[in-house]
A and B are shown apart, each in its own frame.
Chain A
Amino acid sequence: MSLLNSTVSPENATGVVAKNYERVKEMAGFIPPLCEFLSINPNAQTANLDYAKTVFPHSTLTGKLLSMIGLLISNDSSCDYCVDFNEAILVNNFKISQDEIQAIKDNASSVTSLDDKEKALLLFVLKSVKDPNSITQNDITSLKNLNATELEIYDVINHGVHIVAADIMIDTFKIK
């Protein structure tokens, strides 16, 4: 399942790790391999679940936006695990068609199932991740003109970089 062996399987889990597996089963309905991999460091596993709980659901941003961020950043990182994971969420939970998924993988601005604000946030996150030094005050002003709050702007970028870091871990350790 990965290049590291000292993970704790759900069957053998005790204490914090067992509790974390219960948490993730409640949230996702199953235990993703990434969560099992994180059992190597139970503190990191707990922190990641705490984070996931604040994002899914987010107080104002849709799960569809957050999944699209996950999909498109991971597509750029060639992280097949995350691409497949987020495609499945978009198809099953948000009824996004395979055609639209392919279209946004080819060109993110072709997205049709987000409103103007969330589409702008999506494009902003992708720009930030690809070239953070290219961001200017004009980008922030444009988002605010579409009624994005600073908390929303902060949270979407935070989610984007969370995906970047996760992609590095998943690709480095060949998590499947």
Chain B
Amino acid sequence: MSLLNSTVSPENATGVVAENYERVKEILGLVPSTCEVMSINPFIQTRSLDYIDTIISHPTLSGKLFATIRLLVSNDSNCKFCVDFNEAMLMNAFNVSFDEISSMKENPSFAPLNEKEKALLLFVIKSTKDSLSTTSDDITLLKNKGCSELEIYDATYHGANMVAGDIMINAFQIS
């Protein structure tokens, strides 16, 4: 399942790790292998689940936007695990069609999101591809579409975290 062996399986988990597996099963209905690899460091595992909680309960941004960010960032990072995971989530939880997914992978501006969230998506993609290229004009454009600074921050943070997650998953060959 990965290049590391000292993970704790759900069957053998106790304490914090067992609690974390219960949490992730409540959220996703299963324990993804990424979560199992994180059991090597239970603090990081807990922290990741805490972060997922804040995304799921985000007060203003949709789950579809977050899943689309993850899909397209991971597509650029060639992280097959995350592409497959988020494609499945978009289709099953948000009724995005396979054709729509193919289109947005070719061109993110085809993502089936409202105008504000599409602008956020495109900003995050720009930021993760070339973070030095963003300017105050980008921020002004987002604000003109109704985005708050918290939304801009949270969407970008999600994209940056996805870049980080993709590196971990690819480096340890988590499948």
Task: Mark A residues whose CB is within 8 Å of B.
Answer: 3-6, 40-41, 43-44, 47, 50-51, 54, 77-78, 128-129, 132-133, 135-137, 139-140, 149-151, 153-155, 157-158, 160-162, 164-174
Contact = CB atoms under 8 A, between A and B. Distances in A.
Given A5-B149, A164-B164, A172 B5 contact: no
Given A6-B150, A157-B171, A169 B157 contact: yes
Contacts of A154: 4, 37, 40-41, 44, 172
A73 to B, nearest CB: 10
A149 B41 CA distance: 12
B23 to A, nearest CB: 16
B161 interface: yes
Contacts of B93: none
22 contacts: A3-B136, A6-B148, A6-B149, A40-B150, A40-B153, A41-B150, A41-B154, A128-B167, A132-B167, A132-B168, A154-B40, A160-B167, A161-B164, A162-B164, A164-B164, A164-B167, A168-B127, A168-B128, A168-B156, A172-B127, A172-B131, A172-B134
A165 B161 contact: yes
A77 B163 CA distance: 13
Contacts of A135: 3, 170-173
A6 B78 CA distance: 35
Main secondary structure of the interface of A (DSSP, over half): helix
A148 to B, nearest CB: 11
Interface residues of B, number: 45
A172 B156 contact: yes
Contacts of A174: 134
Nearest to B132: A171
A54 B131 CA distance: 27
Contact of B149 (A4, A51, A157): A4
Contacts of A149: 6
A170 B4 CA distance: 31
A161 B157 contact: no
B146 to A, nearest CB: 15
B160 interface: yes
A165 B54 contact: no
A149 B136 CA distance: 45
Nearest to B153: A40
A137 B3 contact: yes
Contacts of B171: 128, 132, 135, 157
B25 interface: no
Given A3-B136, A3-B139, A132-B171, A150 B160 contact: no
Contacts of A151: 6, 40-41
